[in-house]
Amino acid sequence: MSMDVSTDVHAAWLPPEAFRALGSHRVLVQGDGPQGVTVYEEVAQACAAYGGRVGRAPGDEAGPYDLVFALTGAEPALPEAAAVLAGGGVGALGDEGFLTARRDGVTVVLADAPAGLLYGLFHVVRLGEAAFGGGDAPAEAHRPAMRTRMLDHWDNLDVHPVMGHVERGYSGGSIFWRDGGPRGDLPRVRAYARLLAATGVNAVSVNNVNVHTAETRLLTERLGDVADLADVFRPYGIRLHLSVNFASPVVLGGLPTADPLDGDVRAWWGKAAARVYEAIPDFGGFVVKADSEGQPGPFTYGRSHADGANMLAEALAPFGGEVHWRAFVYNHTQDWRDRSTDRARAAYDHFAPLDGAFHPNVVLQVKHGPMDFQTREPVSPVIAAMPATRLAVELQVTQEYTGQQRHVCYLGPMWSEVLGFRPWGADSEGRTVAALAADPAAGGGLVAVSNVGDDPYWTGHPLAQANLYAFGRLAWAPHSDPAALLDEWIDLTFVPLLSRDPVPLRRALHAMMDGSWHTYERYTAPLGVGFMVRPGHHYGPDVDGYEYTPWGTYHYADRDGIGVDRTRATGTGYTGQYPQPWSAVYESAERCPDELLLFFHHVPYGHVLQSGSTVIQHIYDTHFAGAEEAAGQRSSWQELAGSGLVDAALHARVLERLDEQVRCAQEWRDQVNAYFLRKSGVRDARGRHIP
Ligand code: GCV
């Protein structure tokens, strides 16, 4: 396995071999600041490994140069770079953008700021030898679509008795914390920062949004530990954020209240923010889960979420910090008999009336779907409902509901669908979800829950690294083709290690992974109905597991039919939260896309889908097919055994996961099929055995 020597963990998409092309050239680096130093060090390391040379000035002995990294602020000293700069034409590059060009045999990377040079460096790594060939190439600008590209860690300082070390984490313990304090493995954190920077991520939040007692103290007594992490992330252009406990003034400050309109409370937060910025001048801000699943919040004091968020925003504003206020607020103590309370409606009902009431440094962080990161959900209607609020879309890289990193489930295609969704329909030019999140005035960026832990492969399942990679790349360029991103990941992670034809490996991995989200969907909950997982840990099938619980996640299957009536005509009225045309499309059982039918409608088992199949036959067919596809994935992987195309230990780890996936897929198939056979009394038209 390709290991990073300093940390003894898998090198993921940055094996030393991926730097072969860069490291075998003569490279001039003219950048300053922490990220400029990083670029120099990265190039120097690559050159030391592959025989190239790195220099800081045009005349020094490392030259003449084939590649130059330079800032636009001063006249670049190398004539080829100066000529590209003089040529202009691409406009301002901003804090993080860069341009590439080729002039008289020299590859030129220019940026307005050091972070841009860093992103330019990883662009050159991705290109490999292609960065150096050919004749002159005109300047090509690269700028991130989203200003904030952020990973949230749900890491606890210690092992929580119920939620473990990393809540919904499937890759071992936290890479930041252990035994109630810092883990102390800063080389590992640095290796993580480096991987993230190579995908374009520029913000990380280092503790769980469910902020328990010890974690609350990160804001005060443990601030030094947070500052140590910030120091490690900074050279890779990543700003640190903290999840804070809304009740901190009570818990830490000894105040009798955390009322956001109380003067003492506001003063307490002001001082807390000032102390944070003293320790971490480039601190990003706070992440807040309030009035949600037992977390404290402004409702306790009869205040609105705008009151709560704005109070924190005021504390952070003098320092340029932001509040990421989560919109995941719903009633988790409902009764399944109560058909008027609909969890899907909750975020919109709470937040849409507050549009325009949030301060400019508040970002409302909205889960991409209205429920909770299910395998298939419609896009959250909140995203189109708050034009006067800065919105960030939240994805889940950690696979809580998508196989928990025991199943192969490449999520790039799902996220790509979300980002490309047009809330006002196909004719609405440019107004995709991505465009809304990227809007310079109203966009809050893209956020995701990380899937990383202290596992030697980072992500438990080695192939789950692709999800982390794709997230960062989609946040930078949301309209990238997810299949191409998958290949990009394969080409960095596996191909540089091969001394032989990479095509068979690329083909095998691509075939296993590209459609794996659809495969997973086929053998789990059908037609967008969601959940059906075992309560608590959320792994494996339990069709009625949540059906009679207070969590608001029901499928309402009975002998006649299945699905949730969310129509305006006869149901919860949720379809009315969408603008046209989707409001009408979702309202109609005939026009609603098949894959979301049961999210929006309660229909008889004999209802005919747009595909021509009935609901019940669709359930049988997809569950047989999905389990078979999982077995097919395992066979493809088995064929790679002993081929020398993948490292033996990595092969073994993936195989062990695939064995579990195949077992679990069959369990899903049999439970779901048997449940609906018995409920509906309708036999499989193809006569297959249903145990
Ligand atoms: C951090 C889901 C998860 C919780 C998580 C919550 C959230 O409900 O199961 O573990 O809590 O989402 O997003 O806050």
Cβ of residue 209 lying under 6 Å from some atom of ligand 1: yes
pLDDT at 429: 73
Q: Span 77-81, mean pLDDT?
A: 88
* 427 three-state secondary structure: coil
pLDDT at 77: 82
Q: Span 179-186, mean pLDDT?
A: 96
Are the CB atoms for 167 and 154 separated by under 8 Å? yes
Cβ of residue 241 lying under 6 Å from some atom of ligand 1: no
User: Under CATH, what is the fold of the domain 521-564+602-680?
Assistant: Alpha-d-glucuronidase, C-terminal Domain (3.90.1330)
Residues of the chain with CATH 3.90.1330.10: 521-564+602-680
Q: What is the DSSP letter of 376?
A: S
Pocket test for ligand 1, best of 165, 293, 367, 401 (most atoms within 8 A of CB): 293
The C-alpha angle with vertex 204 and arms to 198 and 206, in degrees rounded to 5, equals 135
Q: Span 180-200, mean pLDDT?
A: 97
Where b means 16+ CB within 10 Å and e means fewer, 6-28 reads: ebebbbbbbbbbbbbbbbbbbbb
Cβ of residue 153 lying under 6 Å from some atom of ligand 1: no
pLDDT at 186: 96
Domain 3-142 belongs in CATH node 3.30.379.10 = yes
Q: How far apart are CA 153 and CA 193, in angstroms?
A: 13
pLDDT beyond 90 at 43? yes
Q: Span 384-390, mean pLDDT?
A: 96
Assign 25 a pLDDT band (cuts: 50, 70, 90): very high
Pocket test for ligand 1, best of 151, 154, 371 (most atoms within 8 A of CB): 154
Residues of the chain with CATH 3.20.20.80: 149-493
pLDDT beyond 80 at 491? yes
Specify the ligand 1 atom closest to the Cα of 394. 13
pLDDT beyond 80 at 1? no
Q: How far apart are the first and last CA of the chain?
A: 42
Distance between Cα 661 and ligand 1 center (Å): 24
The C-alpha angle with vertex 677 and arms to 674 and 680, in degrees rounded to 5, equals 145
Q: Span 507-524, mean pLDDT?
A: 97
Cβ of residue 288 lying under 6 Å from some atom of ligand 1: no
Specify the ligand 1 atom closest to the Cα of 210. 1
Residue closest by Cα to atom 13 of ligand 1: 328
What predicted TM-score, i.e. pTM, was given to this entire model? 0.97
Specify the ligand 1 atom closest to the Cα of 163. 10
Q: Span 195-217, mean pLDDT?
A: 97
Cβ of residue 168 lying under 6 Å from some atom of ligand 1: yes
Q: Chain-centre distance of CA 237, in angstroms?
A: 18
Q: Span 170-181, mean pLDDT?
A: 97
The C-alpha angle with vertex 159 and arms to 155 and 163, in degrees rounded to 5, equals 70
Cβ of residue 225 lying under 6 Å from some atom of ligand 1: no
Write out the H or E segment, with its range, that includes residue 604: strand 603-604
Backbone angles phi, psi at 285, to 5 degrees: 145, -165
Q: Considering the chain, what percentage of its residues have pLDDT values greater than 70?
A: 99
Cβ of residue 328 lying under 6 Å from some atom of ligand 1: yes
Are the CB atoms for 406 and 461 separated by under 8 Å? yes
Q: Which of 264, 219, 265 is nearest to 242 (CA)?
A: 219
Query: To 10 degrees, the CA torsion angle through 265, 266, 269, 271?
Result: -110
Q: Span 617-641, mean pLDDT?
A: 97
Residues of the chain with CATH 3.30.379.10: 3-142
Domain 149-493 belongs in CATH node 3.40.50.10860 = no
Cβ of residue 651 lying under 6 Å from some atom of ligand 1: no
Distance between Cα 323 and ligand 1 center (Å): 19
Catalytic residue IDs: 293, 372, 400
pLDDT, tens only, 590-610: 999 999 999 999 999 999 999
pLDDT at 4: 42
pLDDT at 428: 72
Average pLDDT, the chain: 96
pLDDT at 647: 94
Specify the ligand 1 atom closest to the Cα of 167. 10
The runs of H, that is alpha helices, within 432-553 are 433-438, 465-476, 482-493, 503-513, 516-523
Cβ of residue 531 lying under 6 Å from some atom of ligand 1: no
pLDDT at 62: 84
Q: Which two three-digit tokens encode residue 667?
A: 């369990």
pLDDT at 622: 98
pLDDT, tens only, 434-468: 999 999 888 999 999 999 999 999 999 999 999 99
Q: Span 136-151, mean pLDDT?
A: 96
Cβ of residue 167 lying under 6 Å from some atom of ligand 1: yes
Distance between Cα 161 and ligand 1 center (Å): 16
Distance between Cα 652 and ligand 1 center (Å): 31
Pocket test for ligand 1, best of 162, 243, 372 (most atoms within 8 A of CB): 372
Q: Which of 120, 208, 100, 101 is nearest to 164 (CA)?
A: 208
pLDDT beyond 70 at 3? no
Specify the ligand 1 atom closest to the Cα of 209. 1
pLDDT, tens only, 94-107: 999 999 999 999 99
Cβ of residue 438 lying under 6 Å from some atom of ligand 1: no
Distance between Cα 575 and ligand 1 center (Å): 24
Distance between Cα 243 and ligand 1 center (Å): 14
Assign 7 a pLDDT band (cuts: 50, 70, 90): low
Q: How far apart are CA 99 and CA 87, in angstroms?
A: 12
Backbone angles phi, psi at 259, to 5 degrees: -55, 120
Cβ of residue 372 lying under 6 Å from some atom of ligand 1: yes
Distance between Cα 486 and ligand 1 center (Å): 27
Distance between Cα 581 and ligand 1 center (Å): 31
